[in-house]
Amino acid sequence: MPRSQPLFVVHASSGVPIYRQLVDQVETLVAGGRLRPGDLVPSVRQVAAALGVNPMTVSKAWSRLEADGVLIRDRGRGMVVAQRQEPASLADRREEVRPLVDRAVTHALHIGLTPTQLVALVRESLEEHRSCMHRPS
């Protein structure tokens, strides 16, 4: 069941093509958890009518998002948000985060935090994220 329908806003006279504006907005909604895997996005026709833009433009945005793996076509229902793709292995995922951790550690040591203080800081951050994730929507 879709929860409240996400609202899109486009500026026709922006230099950014309208389809790109829609792609960005859907990606933001997905990244922010406002649209979740399995959620139905409004049909091309609904969005085109609501925004007063050409249906082909909306169709192009949805196709682009499908090609990028953000949306998938669910026969009979329409376009839904895809399951998030996890990186292949733990090693890959570690590699992806490694440079960020290195930078944080370097910076922390540079400004005089002790290793214990740094670990405490990471724990705090994890704690905050956990409570965010468990917040009822």
Partner 1 sequence: MHASPFVIETTGLVKRFGLRTVLDGVSLRVPHGQVIGLLGLNGSGKSTLIKCLLGLLRPDAGEAALLGTDSWQLAAREKALIGYVPQEATLYPWLTVRQTVAYVSSFYSRWDRAWGEELVRRWDLPLGHRVGPLSVGQRQKLALVLALGHRPELLILDEPVASLDPVARRWFLETVLETVADGVGTVLFSTHITSDLERIASHVALVRDGRLEFHDEIDALKDRIKRLRITAPADLPRDLRLPGTLRSVVSGSQAIVTVDGVSEPLLAGIRERFSADVLVDDLNLEEIFLELHDAESAAAATVGR
CB-nearer residue toward partner 1: 22 or 82? 22
Give the residue among 67, 43, 53 at the shortest CA–CA distance from 18. 53
Q: How far is the CB of 103 from partner 1 (least distance, A)?
A: 24
Return residues touching partner 1 (CB under 8 A): 12-20, 45, 48-49, 52-57, 60
Residues 19/56, Cβ–Cβ less than 8 Å: no
Please count the other Cβ atoms lying within 10 Å of the Cβ belonging to residue 74: 12
Give the residue among 14, 26, 22 at the shortest CA–CA distance from 80. 26
CB-nearer residue toward partner 1: 4 or 13? 13
Q: How far is the CB of 11 from partner 1 (least distance, A)?
A: 9
Q: How far is the CB of 62 from partner 1 (least distance, A)?
A: 14
Give the residue among 45, 77, 80 at the shortest CA–CA distance from 59. 45
- The four Cα atoms 15, 20, 25, 26 give a dihedral, to 10 degrees, of 170
CB-nearer residue toward partner 1: 26 or 53? 53
Q: How far is the CB of 74 from partner 1 (least distance, A)?
A: 21
CB-nearer residue toward partner 1: 41 or 53? 53
